[in-house]
Every structure is written in structure tokens, then in C-alpha cells.
Amino acid sequence: MKLVFALAAPFPSHQGTQVYVRGLARALQARGHPVTVVAYDLGEGDPGVPVLRVPVPPGYRRLRSGPDRHKPRIDLRMAAMLSQLEADVFHAHHVEALVAALLARRHPLVYHAHTRLGEELPTYLAHFRRSAALMGRAADGVLPRLASATVAVSPGAARVHERWGCRDVTVLPPGLDGDDFPPLASRREERTLVYAGNSDAYQRLDVLFAAMAHLPGWTLRVVTHDPSGFPPGTPLHVARSWPEARDAIATADVAALPRTLPGGYPMKLLDYLACGLPVVLGRGLAQGLQGEVPVDDGDPVDFARGVRDAARITRRDWAPALIRSASWDHRAAAMEAVYARVTAAPGAS
């Protein structure tokens, strides 16, 4: 089955959605499906699959998420490029790529809801928070219904899309590549709390930093590939490769996931757990996985309490079973079933 993935973003990169897209595309390719990713002419690292690059303005080098004045024009170029392609299924990741695919009239079309725009957009447009939320919710509630099927990354997100009237809603959480997690040294640096990721507002690092005031004797380690945007004095470990980041994560005692947006499924949750670390996270993001320590969303005091509780967990042997059950090959097999349904539906081609 010939597949085209549309991603209105740089690719590849260390951002969560791009890691997801790369993992799923590579797994589908390994299962015999030719996959082409259509993405911006930007990226870092080896994509592992063929990529068609959408031209960007001269000097445009933004790898971070979020809106800017150039993206609408780039996305229109993506729509023009998609209109010239043929595939058995077009698979649009995020609302912007869905809009491009709809403009290009590409079908059958699968929409992949990695997050909800109504929740995420206001975090980037702080001065227009209310308007951004209204626009995002309008897009969330209307555009996905135009796709042949919708894929959500969590059961909660799937229920929301079903209420909105989306067709053929499937849950497909992120996956793991076992080769990324070889047996790790058991050495832990006690009372070390690790956060891995960027400094975008939706990550709610304000909760994390406030929690540290209630954790005397604890050390915070921030592992990132992009040091921009962090407050002065943040204890940064800049990792230029996944093995370097993984090793910096794995030797910590507890992992932190302070974000509160419930519409997505953070890739770092599985990465933390696959490194054998208990994860302190808000109840709105908890997935019921062994090793999670849920706390009240956005509450620094309760977050600190969760960190202390997580440090008391002595048996941390959940990683091997998690890596097996969440393999990208398993995710790709589930995705094949979605593709089979949309291609078999009347009027699919």
C-alpha cells in the first residue's frame, strides 16, 4: 500500500510529533509499505524514509513548534505539492497538514490528532489567548470530521473526537524502538529529578521550577537539544544525540512531566519509563502505565510530593515489558487495519 504522510513542520527533529511520525513511517516501511513524508525543507538527522521537501522562505530556520507569519504560505505550497501526488492513503499529522490535504482534495484521508489545537494554540499566543482558543476549538470541531478516519494518541482524545462526530476513530499511542533502549546501567543518582524536552510554554516548566522549592536536597537536571528559552541558571545538559540524552535521563532517580494539556500523549513519557524511571505527571496525562506517579495538575506542592513518593519505588522492572508491548511494529500493524478500512470504504478512491 502506497502511503503519503503530510506533516506541516520540519522533519525530522527532536520534537515529539516528528519522533512519532518517523517511528511509525519506518515501521510501516519495514512492513512493506512505501512511505513518503511531505514536510518542510528543514530538519535535523536521518529521516529513515523518503522525504519530499516543501520550500521555505530564504533564511527560514525555525525548528520549534508554534505559529508564525510564514507558515500559512508554506502550508499552501504543501497543498500544491500534495495535489500532484498519488497514493493509496494520505495521512495528515496535525490540523495544518489536514487543511493542506483537504485543499489538495486528497482521499482517502486519515487525520492524526497528536494534540488539540484549542488547547495548544493559546500557549503560543499568550496576548490573544481567548481568540486563539476559540479559533483552535472551531478547527478541532469541524476539520477532522472531513477526514475518512481519525487517529488519536490516547483514549481520552479519541472520546473527544467521537463526540465531535469524527469517523472511524482509532487510538494509537506512541511507540518505542527497542534498539533505542539497550540494557542500561543500574546506577542511579539519588535525589536527582530529570526533565527532558524544550522550553515551550505548554510544557509548564513553571510548575516544575516551583516544585523544586519544596524539594530541598534534590538536584534538577534538564536534558534538551535546544537550550533557547530556558531561564538563566537552569541546569542544562545539552544533548546532541539520542544516546547522549538517554544516558543523561537514565542515571537520574525520578523523571518529571509537568505539562497539563490532556489532548496529546508526550513521547517523553514512554522514553522515561523505558529508561526505568518512575514518572511524576499530572492526572490529566496519566495513561495507567506501571511507573507513573499521578499528581494534581498544575500543583507544585503536590508535584513535589509525587517526586518524593516516586523516589521510594524500589522495584523498577517495567521497562522490558513496556518496550515489547509498545513496539513501533505493533503500532504499524494497528495502523494497517485503519488503512484497510478506509481503502475498502465506498468512494475511497
- Please write the tens of the pLDDT for every residue from 82-127: 999 999 999 999 999 999 999 999 999 999 999 877 677 776 777 7
Mean pLDDT score of the chain, rounded to an integer?
A: 92
Burial (CB count within 10 angstroms: exposed 0-12, middle 13-18, buried 19+), residue 284: middle
124-133: long-range contacts, CB 8 A cutoff, minimum separation 24: 124/65, 124/66, 124/67, 124/200, 124/201, 124/202, 125/67, 126/201
Estimate the crossing angle of helix 242-250 against helix 267-274, to 10 degrees: 60
DSSP 169: E
List the domain boundaries for the chain: 3-175+327-344, 178-324
Fold classification of 3-175+327-344 is: Rossmann fold (3.40.50)
Band (pLDDT 50/70/90 cuts) for residue 67 is confident
- How confident is the model over 40-64, as pLDDT tens digits? 999 988 999 999 999 999 999 888 7
Question: What is the pLDDT at residue 125?
Answer: 75
Q: Which three cell numbers stand for residue 101?
A: 490535504
DSSP letter string over 234-282? --EEE-SSHHHHHHHHHTSSEEEE----TTS--HHHHHHHHTT--EEEE
Q: How far apart are CA 41 and CA 53, in angstroms?
A: 5
pLDDT, tens digit, for every residue of 195-251?
A: 999 998 889 999 999 999 999 999 999 999 989 999 999 999 999 889 999 999 999
Burial group, residue 309, by CB count within 10 angstroms (0-12, 13-18, 19+): middle
DSSP H helices, the chain, are 16-30, 71-82, 94-103, 117-124, 129-142, 155-163, 205-212, 242-250, 267-274, 300-311, 319-325, 328-344
Rg (CA), the chain: 20
Cα 256 to Cα 221: distance, rounded to the nearest angstrom: 10
Determine the straight-line distance between the first and last CA of the chain, rounded to whole angstroms. Answer: 13
In DSSP terms, 89 is beta-bridged to 3
Please report the pLDDT score of residue 187 as a whole number: 74
The pLDDT-based confidence of 39 (bands split at 50, 70, 90) is very high
The listed CATH number (3.40.50.720, 3.40.50.2000, 3.40.50.2020, 3.10.20.30) that belongs to domain 178-324 = 3.40.50.2000
Residue 270: predicted pLDDT = 96
Identify the pLDDT of residue 322.
96
Does this chain's domain 3-175+327-344 share its CATH topology with 178-324? yes
Q: What are phi and psi of 133, to 5 degrees?
A: -65, -40
Which amino acid is residue 248, in one-letter code? Answer: A
Distance of CA 243 to the CA centre of its chain: 19
Q: Are 37 and 51 in contact (CB under 8 A)?
A: yes
Q: Give the number of other CB atoms < 10 A from CB of residue 326.
A: 19
Q: Which three cell numbers stand for residue 307?
A: 517526586
